Amino acid sequence: MQLRQPACLELAGQALHEAELSDTPLGLIASLESQLRRMEEEVDGHRTGGSRMHCTAAQLQQSLATGFQHSERLAKLRKQQAVLNEELQASQGDSMAVTEAVVAE
């Protein structure tokens, strides 16, 4: 018994599509129709993905145009943080001075 390699049909364009060929005309037609359905599904998937990306890009551009909505509050909180950091550094300096005085006695 001799094993035959299945014949393949390659449709080359921007992508390569393969369809396994059958020994019967009906099998060949079914295989080609199946490949065409897969190609249509891929195209639909790419369209959907492209639409989604377009929508996301528009939302991101709008966000960039409006800016950060809490920028004023952030600026106030950063000022408060700077004051607290200065107070903390000053209090650490005082405790170091006290520690040095105790050690010197």
- pLDDT digits over 68-105, tens only? 889 999 999 999 999 999 999 888 876 655 444 444 44
Sign (positive or negative) of CA dihedral 85, 86, 87, 88: positive
d(CA 48, CA 45) in angstroms, rounded, equals: 5
Q: pTM value?
A: 0.43
Burial 27-66 (b: 16+ CB within 10 A, else e): ebeebbeebeeeeeeeeeeeeeeeeeeeeeeeeeeeeeee
Same domain, 40 and 79: no
Split into its structural domains, the chain has a count of 2
Same domain, 34 and 55: yes
Same domain, 12 and 63: yes
Same domain, 34 and 82: no
Read off the pLDDT of each residue in 6-32 and give the average, rounded to a whole number: 72
Structural domain for 91, as ranges? 69-105
Same domain, 50 and 87: no
29 vs 78, residue with greater confidence: 78
Q: What is the pLDDT of residue 38?
A: 85
Same domain, 63 and 86: no
Same domain, 83 and 98: yes
Same domain, 35 and 53: yes
